[in-house]
Every structure is written in C-alpha cells, then in structure tokens.
C-alpha cells in the first residue's frame, strides 16, 4: 500500500518511515524478550536425578535395545549392547527406573533370578502379549546400572504381588545380613548387596496398576511401606496423571500422620499432540499445526506441577515429600509397520524443543522436584537412543539431555522472563522458556524457542559481570529433521555465536525451532 503514496517530498518521507517501521517489526527489533537473572539468598540445587530415565519391559526397550545376550553378534559387554553402554556413559544417566510402568505391577522378581534356562517364560500382558523369557532380571538390571554408573530406581509390584514378595526383594537386593534371601543372592553370584535407594511402591494404581480407588491404594501403600525399610530409602507413592489433584488430595489425606512412609509423590504426564489416545498424531511428517499443538500441550505440565505443589504445600508444609515426575515425554501414533503395543516412534527437532521446555520447567521447580524420568530410555516413546539390529542412533532428545547436563547438581539461578508469544491459528503460547544455574564458576542458561519461523532477540540482565560468553545449539534445518540409521546426524549439538557480554548485560538472538545453551564466565 505504501507504494501508492503520491511522489511528493513530504509523502516520500512518510513512506520511507513506514517502510522502515515495517521492516523493524518484521525483524523483531522492538520485541520485548527479556531475561533477568536474580541473585537469590536460597541455595537450591538442581537434583541431578531430574535428568533421569525410565526403562520398561516394553517393545524393544530391554531386549534388543539394552540387552542382546552374550551370544549375540551385536558387540556387547556381558550381553549389554556396547554402543548403548557407551552412549549412556557419555550422557551421564543419573538414575534409571525399572521394570515398569504397567509391567511392574505384574512382575514377580523371582522369575528373573537364577540360571537363565530355569527361568519361566511369561506373557507380557500389557505390551503386545509377547513372551517374556525373564533373561533380563534383577541381577542384569542392577549390574547394568553399575556398568553405566547410574542409580537404580526399582518399581515394586503392588498390583499382583504381595508384601512378603516385596520385603524379600528388598532383602535380596540390599541386605548384608545372613538370611535365606541373601544366601540365595550369593548362590546366584552376587556376594555383596547393591546400593538401591529409590523404591516406587506401585505404578499408576489409578489405572494399569490395579484400577484402585485412592483410599484403597493409600492403605496398601502404607502397608507395603511400613515393611520396606532401609537406611536412606526414598519411597515413592503413586501420584496423579497430569492435573488430577483430587487423587493427590485423597492420597495425602490418607497419609496424614504417616508421612514418614513416603519421601516422593510421582506425577505422570505425557504430551499427546491431539490430546486424544485414539489418534495422537504422527512422530514425523507433521505440519505446523501438530508442531504447535505438541508444544502447547507439553507446556501444560507447568500448570499441573504448580497445582500439585500447592496441594502438597497444604498437606506437607515442611516439604518433606518431593515431587517426582517419573514418566514424561511425547507420545505419538506408532510408526507405520511397527508392532501394536511396542510404542515405537521417531524423534525430531520438535522432541528436542519439547525436552528443553520440560527440563527448563523442572529446573525452575528444583526446590520441590527431586527427580524426573523421561519415557523411555531406548526404542519406546521419546527415547534418547533408537536401535535397529546392529545400528543405533542418538536422537535430538539425546543431544538436548547431553547439552543440559551442565545443570546436573548445579545451583539454580532464579530468573524473570518476559517473552513474546508464538501464535498459530488464533492460539498463542510463550515463544521462549529458559532456566539458569551456576556450577564451578560457570553460569549456564538454557533457552528454547518454540517459534519455528522466527528468531527471537533477548535482552539479558545478568546477576554479575562476565567477561566471556559462548553458545551451543540443538536444531535442524526443518522442524521435522531427525537422525536416521547409517546417515550423518541432521540434529546434533553445534556451536552458536552469541553476541557480546558487557556491564552485566547480554543481547542474544535465538534461532527458530531451537534449544540453546549460553555459557558465561
């Protein structure tokens, strides 16, 4: 329209000003994105376990993904895939949950010990009805945790198990006293006990873990927990799905006066693009509508966390019970041609951004969130590793976890953030999320840009003066980019040039659909 102005001197001037204004608007020059790092008197550590993972006897997570057996022609260490072991060591996996999930409430641990040829084969009723030969059991899991240097987190069967069975498992695993269970462990080749601190008592007991009412479950939890004893044990009570505060209130009411029985309350939240289990949306070959919906739905977790923390503050004002988000991640339709119940999906730049958003949210609530476990570690849902036969790929989510490792065990730096919206089809979400921490004299800020089309300029006011700044980025050319077997990685960690830092201020530009790490010293 401006080109239609009459060519007089006066109008030429106005024409130019309007052009310049429009150009500036397009370039986001007036964008109001700010991050202010707040010095804080409280000393909050980001628990390294926030970077935890989850492994279930589901699809090819355990068999094929982690464990191939000693006789496999896939290179292995005592049956564990060598490539996967190396990738997990590099990732610094802090904690690993096992054996489920829904599978846990059907799992009888004694099926998975002793000579492999004597172990019974069972049907995995939740996941594809496949045969479970129990060749990967307690020893295999706990030895694997030692091999990759991770803390084990065991899920106890309260659905089809008994208190006696649970007590014996705890004794078998952790006791150094003389008892029938410790003798059995020694007979099976393990002299000293393992160090297991985290015990989940049931899983999704409002659903696959027995379809229980909260009052019934909390009594069962109390019963189990009073016999599951050990120094420094962290026992986790089954909490809600997403925003179900009604469940949480009933559970915490039932724990009144007995809150020493639980140290953690679990919350599960999965990101489904459509929000519908019947048709969730594809993991690759999606358009911007699914990109937007996925990131919008993943951001809902912050509201659920806040609602739950408010309930927990009311019932447990001293904050003795921590929030544990022990299942989270994206959940899409299974990849075409894969088995029902195996939950196999690809992982793109969208998953990288979703992971960055969730991890920023968890970091910012590190005063009360002590653990989080992405579902699941290999070949199932939002995995960091995918395997096919001898091949393995590190997914975009892997690279985000690796880049965010700087936050493990670091001191949280609280921040105020103002962000533009990212709008699509009349709906809006915040374009940016961020979190910050300090460790060994380095301040690390991680930032996500959900906008797939436009970069964001951020003015950052820092909590002190720094002299150097550097950056790293996880992104791809397209929002659907992913890493594929036998091909060069399209989505990985690269260096990013971040402007200049001076007088406690930093101006930076965050590219579209990206996850960024800014390091200041």
Q: Please identify every residue annotated as catalytic.
A: 204, 327
Piece of 63-71, 315-323, 374-382, 474-482 that binds ligand AHR (CB under 6 A): 374-382
Residue with smaller CB distance to ligand AHR, 207 or 511: 207
Sign of the C-alpha dihedral computed for residues 142, 146, 150 and 151 taken in this order: positive
Q: Which of 426, 384, 420 is nearest to 510 (CA)?
A: 420
Position of tokens 């589901």? 58
Q: Cβ neighbours of residue 364 under 8 Å, at least 6 residues apart?
A: 412, 414, 415, 435
**String of DSSP letters for 463-508:** SS--S-EEEEEEE-SSTT-B--TTS--SSEEEEE----EETTEEEE
- Asked if 102 touches ligand AHR (CB under 6 A), the answer is yes
The size of the interface with ligand AHR (CB under 6 A), counted in residues, is 11
Least distance between ligand AHR and beta carbon 515 (Å): 23
Q: Could you give the residue ranges of the DSSP H alpha helices within 273-395? A: 288-315, 349-364
What tokens were used for 49? 């376990």
- Asked if 157 touches ligand AHR (CB under 6 A), the answer is no
Residue 322 contacts residue 370 (beta carbons within 8 Å): yes
- Asked if 99 touches ligand AHR (CB under 6 A), the answer is no
End-to-end CA, the chain:
49
Q: Cβ neighbours of residue 336 under 8 Å, at least 6 residues apart?
A: none
- Asked if 62 touches ligand AHR (CB under 6 A), the answer is no
Residue with smaller CB distance to ligand AHR, 68 or 381: 381
Q: Quick one: three-class SS letters along 185-235?
A: HHHCCCCCCCCCCEEEECCCCCCCCCCCCHHHHHHHHHHHHHHCCCCCCEE
Residue 424 contacts residue 288 (beta carbons within 8 Å): yes
Residue 333 contacts residue 389 (beta carbons within 8 Å): no
Distance separating alpha carbons of residues 253 and 247, to the nearest angstrom: 10
Per CB under 6 A, the list member of 375, 491, 510, 518 interacting with ligand AHR is 375
Residue with smaller CB distance to ligand AHR, 270 or 286: 270
Least distance between ligand AHR and beta carbon 339 (Å): 15
Residue with smaller CB distance to ligand AHR, 182 or 330: 330
Q: How many CB atoms lie within 10 A of CB 48?
A: 18
Helix or strand (DSSP H, E) at 434: strand 432-439
- Asked if 203 touches ligand AHR (CB under 6 A), the answer is yes
- Asked if 60 touches ligand AHR (CB under 6 A), the answer is no
Piece of 33-41, 98-106, 179-187, 423-431 that binds ligand AHR (CB under 6 A): 98-106
Q: What is the dihedral of CA 277, 282, 286, 289, to 10 degrees?
A: 0
Piece of 96-104, 194-202, 415-423, 450-458 that binds ligand AHR (CB under 6 A): 96-104
Distance separating alpha carbons of residues 24 and 176, to the nearest angstrom: 70
What tokens were used for 265? 């309350």
Per CB under 6 A, the list member of 52, 99, 101, 159 interacting with ligand AHR is 101
Least distance between ligand AHR and beta carbon 505 (Å): 44
Least distance between ligand AHR and beta carbon 241 (Å): 8
Q: If 0-12 CB within 10 Å is exposed, 13-18 middle and 19+ buried, where does residue 167 land?
A: middle
- Asked if 79 touches ligand AHR (CB under 6 A), the answer is no
Least distance between ligand AHR and beta carbon 100 (Å): 5
Least distance between ligand AHR and beta carbon 84 (Å): 19
Site string for ligand AHR, 439-478 (x = CB under 6 A): ----------------------------------------
Least distance between ligand AHR and beta carbon 420 (Å): 34
- Asked if 327 touches ligand AHR (CB under 6 A), the answer is yes
Residue with smaller CB distance to ligand AHR, 190 or 280: 280
What tokens were used for 311? 């309930």
Piece of 94-102, 242-250, 284-292, 363-371 that binds ligand AHR (CB under 6 A): 94-102
Residue with smaller CB distance to ligand AHR, 155 or 182: 155
- Asked if 52 touches ligand AHR (CB under 6 A), the answer is no
- Asked if 204 touches ligand AHR (CB under 6 A), the answer is yes
Q: Cβ neighbours of residue 227 under 8 Å, at least 6 residues apart?
A: 163, 166, 167
Query: Which three-class secondary structure state does DSSP give residue 248?
Result: helix
The number of residues in the chain equals 521
Least distance between ligand AHR and beta carbon 103 (Å): 6
Q: Which residues pair with 81 in a beta bridge?
A: 76
Tell me the Ramachandran region of residue 53: left when phi exceeds 0, alpha when psi lies from -120 to 50, beta otherwise.
Answer: beta
Piece of 173-181, 202-210, 242-250, 426-434 that binds ligand AHR (CB under 6 A): 202-210
Residue with smaller CB distance to ligand AHR, 56 or 244: 56
- Asked if 302 touches ligand AHR (CB under 6 A), the answer is no
Per CB under 6 A, the list member of 330, 344, 376, 483 interacting with ligand AHR is 376
- Asked if 326 touches ligand AHR (CB under 6 A), the answer is no
Per CB under 6 A, the list member of 52, 59, 94, 100 interacting with ligand AHR is 100
Residue with smaller CB distance to ligand AHR, 33 or 271: 271
Residue with smaller CB distance to ligand AHR, 85 or 238: 238
Output the residue with the shortest Cβ distance to ligand AHR. Answer: 101
Q: Where does this chain bind ligand AHR (CB under 6 A)?
A: 56, 100-102, 203-204, 208, 327, 375-376, 381
């Amino acid at each position: 329209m401006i080109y239609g102005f009459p060519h007089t001197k006066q109008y030429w001037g106005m024409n130019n000003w309007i052009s310049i204004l429009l150009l500036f608007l397009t370039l986001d020059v007036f964008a109001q994105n700010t991050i202010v790092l707040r010095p804080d008197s409280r000393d909050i550590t980001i628990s390294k376990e926030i970077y935890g993972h989850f492994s279930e006897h589901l699809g090819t997570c355990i068999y094929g993904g982690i464990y191939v057996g000693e006789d496999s022609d896939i290179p292995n260490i005592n049956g564990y895939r060598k490539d996967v072991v190396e990738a997990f060591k590099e990732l610094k996996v802090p904690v690993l949950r096992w054996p489920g999930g829904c599978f846990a409430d059907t799992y009888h641990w004694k099926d998975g010990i002793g000579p492999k040829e004597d172990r019974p084969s069972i049907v995995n009723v939740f996941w594809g009805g496949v045969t479970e030969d129990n060749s990967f059991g307690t020893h295999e899991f706990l030895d694997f945790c030692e091999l990759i240097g991770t803390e084990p987190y065991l899920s106890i069967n309260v659905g089809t198990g008994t208190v006696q069975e649970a007590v014996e498992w705890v004794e078998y695993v952790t006791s150094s006293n003389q008892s029938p269970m410790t003798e059995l462990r020694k007979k099976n080749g393990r002299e000293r006990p393992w160090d297991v601190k985290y015990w989940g008592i049931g899983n999704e007991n409002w659903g696959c873990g027995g379809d229980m009412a909260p009052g019934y479950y909390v009594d069962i939890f109390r019963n189990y927990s009073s016999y599951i004893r050990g120094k420094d044990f962290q026992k986790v009570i089954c909490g809600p799905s997403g925003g179900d505060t009604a469940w949480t209130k009933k559970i915490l009411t039932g724990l009144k006066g007995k809150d020493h029985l639980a140290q953690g309350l679990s919350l599960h939240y999965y990101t489904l693009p459509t929000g519908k289990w019947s048709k969730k949306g594809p993991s690759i070959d999606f358009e911007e509508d699914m990109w937007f919906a996925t990131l919008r739905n993943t951001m809902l977790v912050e509201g659920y966390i806040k609602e739950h923390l408010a309930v927990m503050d009311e019932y447990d004002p001293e904050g003795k019970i921590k929030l544990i988000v022990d299942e989270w991640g994206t959940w899409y339709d299974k990849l075409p041609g894969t088995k029902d119940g195996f939950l196999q999906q690809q992982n793109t730049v969208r998953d990288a951004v979703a992971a960055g958003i969730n991890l920023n949210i968890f970091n910012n609530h590190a005063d009360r969130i002590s653990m989080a476990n992405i579902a699941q570690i290999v070949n199932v849902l939002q995995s960091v590793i995918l395997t096919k036969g001898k091949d393995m790929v590190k997914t975009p989510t892997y690279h985000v976890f690796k880049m965010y490792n700087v936050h493990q065990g670091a001191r949280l730096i609280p921040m105020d953030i103002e962000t533009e919206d990212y709008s699509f089809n009349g709906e809006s979400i915040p374009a940016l999320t961020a979190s910050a921490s300090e460790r060994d004299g380095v301040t690390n800020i991680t930032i996500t840009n959900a906008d797939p089309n436009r970069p964001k300029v951020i003015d950052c006011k820092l909590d002190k003066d720094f002299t150097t700044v550097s950056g790293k980025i996880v992104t791809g050319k397209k929002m659907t980019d992913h890493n594929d077997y036998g091909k060069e990685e399209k989505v990985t960690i690269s260096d990013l040039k971040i402007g200049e830092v001076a007088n406690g201020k930093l101006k930076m530009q965050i590219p579209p659909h990206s996850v960024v790490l800014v390091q200041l010293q």
